[in-house]
């Protein structure tokens, strides 16, 4: 009996738990969208140009490169005159599934950044925790809502695509359409803004695997050349016209690789 619980006892004595990061060096391990991370660092709750929100429901740990890129985003949007960004989920301290059924965000290389940039006074910790940033998309799902989405959001999305290590940025198809219809001048960055379901109030930034991480799974191929303002975007709106498919069995959460077991259990 004692032997059975010895590892757990040692773990508790060592102060390690799934609520604290696994010690470095950085190790990112995954298969598909499931995985884990050791050596994660936490995004500060406040930094130049950004604040974390919904802390009781979110997790703000990531690879050092991810956190550094987000701090750079805050500095650049601040320098561009935008109000503080609101940051949502990065990853759990050791990666793995997040609360709220998030299947991605398991390896410290994903981040949710809200698109709400309305002028605001300083919020208390309680207000930040309770915040529900608004959707940028009209109720019909086909177009942006100009009451919420405008030039400031375009600047934010553009700056996000220019961060070091960014693979692509996912937004609701209506937001992508809003960019296709409203961005003037340099449009090459539109290639890296890709449509996905949901993502009406926030963008999801996918970072590439940091160098020297052979167990970090390859991301999908880079976005095809071009702005993506074409039939591939129309496809998403065509789906809205179709009747919803009959409900199937609930999607099975992807399983992290066995190499994650020690990290996720807090033994590593
Ligand atoms: Zn996300």
pLDDT tens by residue, 57-93: 999 999 999 999 999 999 999 999 999 999 999 999 9
Q: Is the pTM of this model over 0.95?
A: no
Question: Which contiguous run of DSSP H or E holds residue 6?
Answer: helix 2-14
Task: Give 147 Cα–ligand 1 centroid separation in angstroms.
Answer: 24
Task: Indicate the fold that domain 2-240+255-265 takes in CATH.
Answer: Muramoyl-pentapeptide Carboxypeptidase; domain 2 (3.30.1380)
CB 62 within 8 A of CB 43: yes
CB 229 within 8 A of CB 190: yes
Task: Give 22 Cα–ligand 1 centroid separation in angstroms.
Answer: 22
Q: pLDDT category, 11, cuts 50, 70, 90?
A: very low
Nearest partner of 38 among 91, 80, 84, 85, judged by Cα: 91
Q: What is the pLDDT of residues 13-60, one digit of tens each?
A: 444 667 899 999 999 999 988 999 999 999 999 999 999 999 999 999
Q: pLDDT category, 131, cuts 50, 70, 90?
A: very high
Q: Where are the domains of the chain?
A: 2-240+255-265
CA–CA distances in Å: residue 110 to residues 43, 48, 69, 177, 231 = 12, 20, 11, 23, 27
Task: Give 206 Cα–ligand 1 centroid separation in angstroms.
Answer: 8
pLDDT at 9 over 50: no
Joined tokens for residue 146 = 């100009």
The distance between the two most distant Cα atoms of the chain, rounded to a whole number of Å, is 69
CB atoms within 10 A of CB 250: 7
Task: Give 180 Cα–ligand 1 centroid separation in angstroms.
Answer: 22
Nearest partner of 219 among 150, 171, 169, judged by Cα: 169
């Amino acid at each position: 009996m004692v032997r059975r619980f010895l590892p757990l006892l040692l773990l508790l004595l060592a102060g390690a738990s799934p609520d604290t990061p696994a010690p470095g060096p950085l190790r990112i391990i995954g298969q598909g969208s499931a995985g884990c991370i050791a050596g994660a660092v936490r995004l500060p709750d406040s930094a130049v140009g950004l604040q974390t929100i919904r802390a009781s429901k979110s997790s703000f740990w990531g690879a050092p490169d991810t956190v550094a890129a987000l701090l750079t985003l805050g500095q650049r949007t601040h320098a561009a005159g935008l109000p503080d960004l609101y940051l949502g989920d990065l990853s759990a301290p050791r990666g793995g599934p997040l609360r709220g059924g998030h299947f991605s965000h398991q390896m410290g290389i994903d981040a949710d950044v809200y698109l709400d940039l309305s002028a605001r006074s300083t919020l208390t910790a309680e207000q930040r925790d309770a915040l529900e940033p608004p959707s940028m998309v009209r109720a019909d799902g086909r177009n942006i809502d100009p009451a919420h989405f405008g030039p400031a959001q375009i600047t934010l999305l553009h700056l996000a695509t220019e961060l070091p290590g960014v693979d692509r940025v996912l937004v609701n198809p209506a937001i992508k359409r809003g960019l296709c219809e409203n961005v003037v001048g340099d449009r090459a960055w539109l290639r890296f803004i890709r449509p996905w379901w949901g993502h009406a109030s926030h963008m999801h930034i996918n970072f590439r695997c940091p160098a020297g991480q052979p167990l970090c799974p390859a991301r999908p191929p880079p976005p095809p050349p071009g702005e993506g303002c074409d039939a591939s975007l129309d496809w998403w709106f065509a789906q809205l016209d179709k009747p919803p498919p009959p409900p199937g069995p609930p999607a099975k959460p992807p399983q992290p690789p066995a190499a994650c077991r020690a990290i996720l259990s807090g033994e590593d």
